[in-house]
A and B are shown apart, each in its own frame.
Chain A
Amino acid sequence: MSYMITSECINCSACEMECPVRAITAGPSQYVINPNVCIECQGYYPEARCKWACPVDACVPERSSYQFRSASLTNRGAPPVVLTADHPTGVKRMPIEVASE
């Protein structure tokens, strides 16, 4: 498990300085915690240090549904809607060859 930062984040950077394992970085629109690095401050502090530091209570234990919905739409893996002359309102099938990696 790890902590996460909600969209309440006001980009103050307080948590970034406090985190003992440097799990927190500035993301495109707010600070983010790398869940692979966060250890919930076990062995360092009695409670999560970011939660202690955050002025707006944005650091909370991770909830996957929140993470999912707060990601931008395309980041959730939505397929492109492809418009062509024959399908002016969009096709599901990829009309050209694309290498999916």
Chain B
Amino acid sequence: MKNRVVVVGGGWAGCSAAMTAKLAGADEVIVLERTDGLLGTGLVGGIMRNNGRYTAAEEMIAMGGGQLFQVADNTARHSNFEFPGHKHATLYDVAKIEPAVRRCLLEHGIEVWLFSRVTEIIRQNGSIDAVRLENGIVIHADMFVDATGTVGSQNYCTEHGNGCVMCIVRCPTFGPRVSLTGLVGIPEKAGRKKDGSIGAMSGSCKLNKDTIAPHIREQLEETGLAIIPIPEHLVNEKKLGTKACQQYALKEYADNVILLDTGQVKLMTSYMPLHELRQIPGLEDVRYEDPYSGTIGNSMRYSALSPRDDHMRVIGDVDNLFCGGEKAGLLVGHTEAMVTGALGGHNAVRAIAGRELLQIPDSLSVGDAITHVREAMKTDEGMTEKYTFSGSIYFKRMKERGLYTTDHDRIAERVADAGLTNIYSQRVL
């Protein structure tokens, strides 16, 4: 009998889980994705390797799980560039990244199923026997990975945000996200804003590049960055508290519009009325690219976090479910999703092989983040924070613990000391 790992959700976490599952020797790896393409919210972000994410990316490469990081590097529009509060960032091209990732997965022998929205599970005792797609097709597997993310649905964006603003997730067309952990019946936690209310709003939008003034466009293409002061009467600092990305909650971001070149123009704010945006010099004719109604809001995230252990196994009444990405805790970002997804995918194969599950020690930032965030989420206060290698409290912790470095040799040495060199590229089956 061939063994099979089914990954539900084709965002960064799901793609990463599929890669490590395949590398670890699973016979068949299938990614089920509800939309018409891979990468989920990874289709609108683009910032990699900023601050501590650099260390995490290099740790992954040293552990033999760096394939997707290299794909992102290869599609970069700008590398080793700086913007307020952030050093040595890479910006991947949000238009070119999906085909590149898709190709990488297919070349490794992974199957990608699109228009494949899981809406039901079939249980057998303590295990998931199969998942059923919305159109009725049933797919059996030995192990499952929940990488469904935490964004949407229309209800959630309406109740806790400012309504559906038509973001890249496209719930009305493809149907909202459905959580595998939720289908199993395991209670999920929701992240909270500082004021205690549920959810967090995504922290950036995309503007259409052809609609900004040519001199800004040229500056962006050359340097990757444009900072334009916001006219005094528009400065609205209050908004910053509602964002998912705490690393951007700096004053610079309230006083200026900060634009980054990710192929489209990334605007570093949750939302801003178009008529106000158009009062900013150079943006007189600007238009939103994502979300379409960036005028009033952005997608809401962190609705449904799976309880999990440090092996990425979902804790609850089920024995063959792993998780990764935003699902796995209040870890924000592509890098974070790839790191947690990779561990989930790898351990799914270890579980099939009956081998001891892998835990990454806290001498590596990747291992420390996984453990630290799980611990921090036990407290109500911890649930109001967001964690990322790239800023705010977790980056601070990385620096305090001496984990942050951009020295490749030192990182390779640390990974070797932990006995994890190329661990992800070795078969366990």
A78 touches B115 (CB 8 A): yes
A75 touches B102 (CB 8 A): no
B106 proximity list for chain A (CB < 8 A): 83-85, 88
B34 touches A95 (CB 8 A): no
A74 touches B136 (CB 8 A): no
Report if A81 contacts B (CB, 8 A): yes
Cβ distance B36 to chain A, nearest Cβ, rounded Å: 8
A72 touches B153 (CB 8 A): no
B172 touches A83 (CB 8 A): no
A83 touches B138 (CB 8 A): no
Could you say which interface size class chain A belongs to?
20 to 34
Report if A77 contacts B (CB, 8 A): yes
Report if B318 contacts A (CB, 8 A): no
A88 proximity list for chain B (CB < 8 A): 102-103, 106
Cβ distance B180 to chain A, nearest Cβ, rounded Å: 16
Q: In chain A, what residue has the closest Cβ to B153?
A: A28
Distance, CA A63 to CA B227, complexed state (A): 52
Of B103, B107, B136, B174, which contacts A72 at CB under 8 A?
A: B174
B155 proximity list for chain A (CB < 8 A): 11, 26, 28-29
Cβ distance A19 to chain B, nearest Cβ, rounded Å: 20
A80 proximity list for chain B (CB < 8 A): 32, 113-116, 133, 135, 137
A75 touches B111 (CB 8 A): no
Report if A82 contacts B (CB, 8 A): yes
Distance, CA A85 to CA B138, complexed state (A): 22
B172 touches A74 (CB 8 A): no
A28 proximity list for chain B (CB < 8 A): 153-155, 175-176
A101 proximity list for chain B (CB < 8 A): 132, 136, 138
Distance, CA A96 to CA B34, complexed state (A): 19
Report if B158 contacts A (CB, 8 A): yes
Cβ distance A87 to chain B, nearest Cβ, rounded Å: 9
Report if B140 contacts A (CB, 8 A): yes
Distance, CA A30 to CA B17, complexed state (A): 34
Cβ distance B170 to chain A, nearest Cβ, rounded Å: 9
Distance, CA A88 to CA B112, complexed state (A): 9
Main secondary structure of the interface of B (DSSP, over half): mixed
A residues 1-51 with Cβ under 8 Å of B? 11, 26, 28-30
B114 proximity list for chain A (CB < 8 A): 80-83, 90
B137 touches A98 (CB 8 A): yes
Could you say which interface size class chain B belongs to?
35 or more
Of A73, A85, A94, which contacts B173 at CB under 8 A?
A: A73
Distance, CA A73 to CA B170, complexed state (A): 11
Distance, CA A80 to CA B171, complexed state (A): 17
B residues 123-180 with Cβ under 8 Å of A? 130, 132-140, 153-155, 158, 164, 171-176
Report if B85 contacts A (CB, 8 A): no
Cβ distance B269 to chain A, nearest Cβ, rounded Å: 26
Cβ distance B133 to chain A, nearest Cβ, rounded Å: 7
B154 touches A74 (CB 8 A): no
B136 touches A99 (CB 8 A): no
A99 touches B138 (CB 8 A): yes
Q: In chain B, what residue has the closest Cβ to A99?
A: B138
B136 touches A85 (CB 8 A): no
Report if B28 contacts A (CB, 8 A): yes
Cβ distance B7 to chain A, nearest Cβ, rounded Å: 14
Distance, CA A88 to CA B153, complexed state (A): 30
Report if A61 contacts B (CB, 8 A): no
Q: In chain B, what residue has the closest Cβ to A94?
A: B137
Q: In chain B, what residue has the closest Cβ to A70?
A: B172
Quick one: given A72-B172, A74-B133, are A95 and B154 in contact (CB under 8 Å)?
A: no
Distance, CA A94 to CA B102, complexed state (A): 19
Report if B109 contacts A (CB, 8 A): yes
A29 proximity list for chain B (CB < 8 A): 153-155, 164, 171-172, 176
Cβ distance A36 to chain B, nearest Cβ, rounded Å: 20
Distance, CA A60 to CA B50, complexed state (A): 53
Cβ distance B104 to chain A, nearest Cβ, rounded Å: 11
B130 touches A99 (CB 8 A): yes
A73 touches B115 (CB 8 A): yes
A84 proximity list for chain B (CB < 8 A): 106, 111-112
Of B107, B135, B138, which contacts A74 at CB under 8 A?
A: B135
Beyond the given A28-B153, A29-B155, please list 5 additional residue pairs across the A-B interface where CB-CB is below 8 A: A28-B176, A29-B164, A29-B176, A72-B134, A83-B111
A interface, CB within 8 angstroms of B: 11, 26, 28-30, 72-75, 77-85, 88, 90, 94-96, 98-101
11 inter-chain pairs at a CB distance below 8 angstroms, sorted by A residue, are: A29-B154, A72-B117, A74-B135, A78-B135, A81-B113, A83-B102, A83-B106, A84-B111, A90-B114, A96-B139, A100-B137
Complex A-B, nearest 4 residue pairs according to Cβ-Cβ distance, in ascending order:
A72-B175, A29-B154, A80-B116, A83-B112
